[in-house]
Each structure stands twice: as structure tokens, then as C-alpha cells.
Amino acid sequence: MVHGQGGVKFQNWAKTYGSSPELYFQPTSVEEIREILDMARKQDKRVKVVGGGHSPSDIACTDDFMIQMGKMNRVLKVDKEKQQVTVEGGIFLSDLNVELSKHGLALANLGAVSEVAAAGMIGTGTHNTGIKHGILPTQVIALTLLTASGEILECSESINADIFQAARLHLGCLGIVLTVTFQCVPQFHLHEVAFPSTLTEVLDHLEDHLKRSQYFRFLWFPHSENVSVIYQDPTNKPPSSSSSWLWDYAVGYYLLEFLLWISTFVPSLVCWINRFFFWLLFSSRVENIAISYKIFNYECRFKQHVQDWAIPIEKTKEALLELKAALENNPKMVAHYPVEVRFARGDEIWLSPCFQRDSCYVNIIMYRPYGKNVPHLNYWLTYEGIMKKHGGRPHWAKAHSCTRKDFEKMYPAFPKFCSVREKLDPTGIFLNTYLEKVFY
Ligand SMILES: Cc1cc2nc3c(=O)[nH]c(=O)nc-3n(C[C@H](O)[C@H](O)[C@H](O)COP(=O)(O)OP(=O)(O)OC[C@H]3O[C@@H](n4cnc5c(N)ncnc54)[C@H](O)[C@@H]3O)c2cc1C
């Protein structure tokens, strides 16, 4: 019989949200998951699955039953000819990257971290950058879902096609994702070049930058014009890296955390901190070549609050200039660096922030130096106002203030998603507080 542990405290990576599940399970088989679902039904409990616990919101929280899928993490099938891999939903991408590389394969795109589960990262629509590339769930070509009734559904473009378009970005509310099949590409190396620029230059030549580099993104240092442009492109050149740069980077971040902590007492320091660190770490050209996942992933050193909305790509300049003006007009509102600006191709996934439109993601951040909370409400509301005005849709993993009414306006396919959810989970066993705000 499956054993649930009491007294476990769950906290997300940033330690910004947590919960105290009554029972915490780490099942090793589908039969055990079915037992947990039976037990939950009998005791009138809800169930939440957690992957890597990286979502910077309460989307994975529950005080009822929590299922951690870390023991269902096998690679089930590698089809080298079709370049496809089928994995259990609990596998971390960090393990998958290594496994794929043994077969000469790779995922075409990855987010900043790989300590996330395959089913977890698609659950919230994780994205990276590159206007030729969709959000990460666009790499999913099939999945299997264990529904509230205990039935297993195979889903793909050709089988249960509607459920597939819903489940590729499932919010953890359609059932338990048991397996995921990814379309991969041949393993590749990336050449990363980072160089300084200005906000005006990048916004005025956005089209050129998007054409020049396959995985183009930029970091804007708020309270200034400074920008670090980052190009990443496939290369046949051998790996190389600048170790002194890595050293500067590590030392720089210890100093940054200390200075940000000081700035919690003197907020006006933030604009100087942003400028100083741009000068220290980002004002010269840096190059690096490595296997793709080592370039896609980067160190997110300390805990943070984040927001990340996707706006139609043609609104990029207007929205960023409004954010810049709002900061200039309100000196008491401080913004930590960077504002990270990334791009993604439009897709057909019902709840994708890029649904049917090429998009620009604008990620804002407020660090929590030594775990200290930093006031950010004003900045958050100003940012949300600008994003909403430009037709933005929030990242599902990241805390936002939207409710069902907003999502109905934002997502043409929202009613279709709701009806699939209601059909698959009529009693709402997979809901939690976060999801109630989305669906009620
Ligand atoms: C340091 C850091 C860097 C990040 N970088 C990026 C980035 O570059 N781009 C980006 O878009 N996002 C980024 N994120 C956000 C992150 O990618 C998402 O939060 C992602 O969903 C995390 O995956 P996870 O496995 O930790 O999911 P969790 O947070 O554990 O869960 C996410 C959702 O999936 C559900 N779920 C998990 N497993 C299953 C399953 N087997 N069946 C059904 N439901 C399941 C959960 O219930 C929940 O609803 C970052 C977060 C952090 C902390």
C-alpha cells in the first residue's frame, strides 16, 4: 500500500510560497497514483502534483495531498531516427539533457534552469527566447494523462487532439501527466556573444537583432539606458569559455547581494547599483561556446520575486518605453536589474501566452537579498498596468493578479480549456487556491 508522509513543508524555489500538505507522496507506479486518488476521493481531499517546485507562485501548493513525481523519472523510449524521446513526467530536464546527449540529441530550446520536471515545465508554459522557436511545450508531440477517474488518455495531434492542445499547457488541473514525448533535434553547440548597447539602439533595431541571432535576448538595466545584448547561435567551433569572466561573475554576485541588502534601507541606491554592475559585468564583449544546454541554462543565484508577461511582439518598443518613463516619473519606485526581454513564436496551444501571435516576454525582477522581502507592489502594479494595456498575458508560473474575467478576455480558447477541464475533473480534485482564481 502506498505510504504518505505527514509533516512535510513544501516551499517553492524562491521561498515566496509554501504549503503544509497533510500527506506527501512519492509514488513509484501508476497503481500507487491510482491508490492516492482513491484515498483522496474517499476522504474528500484535493491532490496537487509537484515537479521541481520552481514556480514563483502558489500554483503547485496544497494543504491536502501532494504528489512529488521524482521517482517516476525514467527515459522510456528514444527513437533516434525520428529524433523523439518519451520520458516519465517526473524526469528533470537536467537528467534528460545528459541522456539525450548520449544519443546525439538535444531539446531545441530550454529555459534558464533545468532543475524542473518535464511535466512541470510544460504545466506553466516555460519559454526561452528565439523568434523562430515556440515556448517549450511546442516541443511536445504526445503525452499521457491519468485523469481524476483513473483512466489513462493518450494525447497527440491525432489522438484526443482537443485534450492535447489543452494538456500541452495544463496548469496541473487536467490530471496527472505520466509521460511526455518530445521532438528533439541533433545535439548542437551554441556560440554565445554578449555585448553592451543602449535601450534606444535595441528598440530601434529590433528587427535586425531578431534576424541576426537565432536565440536573441537582451537585458535592460532599469534607471538607465544600459542594455546587454545576448546572441546565441549554433556553431561548429569547439567549446571555449572565459574563466576570468566566470570568476568576476561569481564575486560580483556576492557583492550585489550585499549592496542590494543595503539598498533596502536606502532605496535610491538601486539606480547606482544597476549602473555599477552594468559597468562591472556587462560593459565589455564576452564570448562562450558550449553544448547547447550549458548555454541555455544560467545561474539564477539568489531568491527573487518575478513577473513575466507576453505582449504582442509589435508592442515591444511602446511597452518598454512606457515602463522606462514610469520609472523616471516616479523616483520612489525602484527596479532591480535586469528587465529581461525575450521573444517566442506564436503557437496553437490554447493557454499559451503566445497563442496565435509572435510575442515578446518582459520579465521584471526584485531580488530578496539574504531572503529579505523588498517592497515591490507599486512597481508590480505599474508594470501589470502597462502589460495589460498592450494586450499582455501573464506567465502562468509567476504570481499575477489576474482572474477568470481577465483570462476570458485574453484567451480566445479559454472556454474550450474550461470545458475540457470540467469534463476530465468534474469534482475539481486537482484544483487549489491559485486555480480557483483562474477558473471561478
Ligand atoms: C530560477 C528559476 C528560473 C526560471 N527560468 C525560467 C525561464 O527561463 N523561462 C520560464 O518560462 N520560466 C522560468 N522559470 C519558471 C519555471 O520554468 C516554471 O515555474 C516551471 O513550471 C517549473 O517546473 P517545475 O517542474 O518546477 O514545476 P512546478 O512548479 O513543480 O509545477 C508547475 C505546475 O505543473 C504541475 N505539475 C508538475 N508535475 C505534474 C505532473 N506530473 N502532472 C500534472 N501536473 C504537474 C504542478 O501542479 C503545477 O501546476 C524559472 C523559475 C526559477 C525558479
**Res. 254 pLDDT band, cuts 50 70 90:** confident
User: Which atom of ligand 1 is nearest to 53's Cα?
Assistant: 30
User: Which atom of ligand 1 is nearest to 434's Cα?
Assistant: 49
**Which of 68, 90, 112 finishes a domain?**
68
User: Measured between alpha carbons, how far is 274 from 260 in angstroms, rounded to an integer?
Assistant: 10
Are the CB atoms for 169 and 124 separated by under 8 Å? yes
**Res. 248 pLDDT band, cuts 50 70 90:** low
Whichever domain contains 31, its CATH number is: 3.30.43.10
Instruction: Specify if 432 maps to a domain.
Output: yes
In what helix (H) or strand (E) does residue 32 lie, and over which residues does it extend?
Answer: helix 30-43
pLDDT digits (tens, 9 = 90+) for 173-209: 999 999 999 999 999 999 999 999 999 999 999 999 9
What number of residues does the chain have? 440
Q: Which of 17, 93, 94, 113 to mutate to test the pocket of ligand 1 (most atoms within 8 A of CB)?
A: 113
User: 268 alpha carbon to ligand 1 midpoint, in Å?
Assistant: 34
**Which of 53, 68, 83 finishes a domain?**
68
User: Measured between alpha carbons, how far is 279 from 277 in angstroms, rounded to an integer?
Assistant: 5
Number of Cα atoms under 13 Å in the Cβ half of residue 76: 15
User: 396 alpha carbon to ligand 1 midpoint, in Å?
Assistant: 9
Grid cell at residue 78? 528514444
User: Which atom of ligand 1 is nearest to 177's Cα?
Assistant: 42
Q: Which of 50, 91, 362, 396 to mutate to test the pocket of ligand 1 (most atoms within 8 A of CB)?
A: 50
Please tell me whether residues 172 and 207 are part of one structural domain: no
Please tell me whether residues 198 and 234 are part of one structural domain: yes
Please tell me whether residues 260 and 167 are part of one structural domain: no
**Which of 68, 88, 104 finishes a domain?**
68
pLDDT digits (tens, 9 = 90+) for 294-343: 999 987 777 899 999 999 999 999 999 999 999 999 999 999 999 999 99
> Which residues have CB under 6 Å of ligand 1?
13-14, 48-56, 59-60, 69, 89, 111-113, 116-117, 119-121, 123-124, 126-128, 171-172, 176-177, 300, 395, 397
User: Measured between alpha carbons, how far is 92 from 80 in angstroms, rounded to an integer?
Assistant: 20
pLDDT of the residue at 1:
85
Whichever domain contains 293, its CATH number is: 3.40.462.10
* Atom 12 in ligand 1: residue holding the nearest Cα: 126
Grid cell at residue 105? 540529441
User: 330 alpha carbon to ligand 1 midpoint, in Å?
Assistant: 33
Q: Look up residue 283 and give its amino acid.
A: S
Whichever domain contains 432, its CATH number is: 3.30.465.10
User: Measured between alpha carbons, how far is 361 from 343 in angstroms, rounded to an integer?
Assistant: 6
pLDDT digits (tens, 9 = 90+) for 262-294: 999 999 999 999 999 999 889 999 999 999 999
Q: How many domains does the chain have?
A: 3
pLDDT digits (tens, 9 = 90+) for 122-171: 999 999 999 999 999 999 999 999 999 999 999 999 999 999 999 999 99
Please tell me whether residues 112 and 237 are part of one structural domain: no
Name the burial class of residue 94, with classes exposed (0-12), middle (13-18) and buried (19+) by CB atoms within 10 angstroms of its CB. middle
Range of the structural domain that residue 51 is part of: 10-68
User: 93 alpha carbon to ligand 1 midpoint, in Å?
Assistant: 11
